[in-house]
Chains A and B, each alone.
Chain A
Amino acid sequence: EAQVTQNPRYLITVTGKKLTVTCSQNMNHEYMSWYRQDPGLGLRQIYYSMNVEVTDKGDVPEGYKVSRKEKRNFPLILESPSPNQTSLYFCASSLSARTDTQYFGPGTRLTVL
């Protein structure tokens, strides 16, 4: 089954404790992206990756890191999480960046205390 998976689905952590949210897709997609969804703000892009070893900032990259060492995986790293990073996070992938539709993962709800 073609899908985007994220782990964990739920996470409660404390300020400053490094964490990684994993994202994996099995569709051989080149383009992957991370978003956060906040009430009243909709979906905002954090980082995106055009292909392996190619990443770029979205609209809200501060406080986040990403890496794309393999085509299928695109982890989101929070080196020192803060409460303002409490949010619902979505990973997405598509065959290409422009006209292909993005497939979203189920989301990761992160709470930073």
Chain B
Amino acid sequence: DQQVKQNSPSLSVQEGRISILNCDYTNSMFDYFLWYKKYPAEGPTFLISISSIKDKNEDGRFTVFLNKSAKHLSLHIVPSQPGDSAVYFCAASAGGSNYKLTFGKGTLLTVNP
């Protein structure tokens, strides 16, 4: 039962354009969402997060949007740069005493010069 879904295994965009990575979730108890970026041969690094009390969070070129009714979030990267090429993981955690973090399968973003 995959609770966090990233349905696009890969995405290719041109440098300078917008990259939009999508993530859907099924567990209505999730209330905190994160995006991680992973380069080959390295551990994932935190990118941006959003709490369910918000519908948008912005940090420089990165913006995460949350649509709770649709159980959908997206990561926008504007403008995209070749150094953004990596695997992006969406992750979620539930409230209360549940401290597990559930990840999606990841989306490989390639930004072409």
User: Shortest distance in angstroms between A94's beta carbon and chain B's nearest beta carbon?
Assistant: 9
Residues in B with CB closer than 8 Å to A66 are none
In the docked arrangement, what's the CA distance between A56 and B99, Å?
9
User: Shortest distance in angstroms between B107's beta carbon and chain A's nearest beta carbon?
Assistant: 10
State whether B93 touches A44 (Cβ < 8 A).
Answer: no
Residues in A with CB closer than 8 Å to B41 are 106-107
Main DSSP-derived SS at the B contact region: strand
A-B contact count (CB 8 A): 58
Residues in A with CB closer than 8 Å to B49 are 99, 101
Residues in B with CB closer than 8 Å to A44 are 103
Residues in A with CB closer than 8 Å to B43 are 4, 90, 92, 104-107
Q: Report A's interface with B, CB cutoff 8 A.
A: 4, 31, 33, 35, 40-45, 48, 50, 56, 58-59, 90, 92, 97-99, 101-107
Q: Report B's interface with A, CB cutoff 8 A.
A: 6, 32, 34, 36, 41-46, 49, 51, 89, 91, 93, 99-106
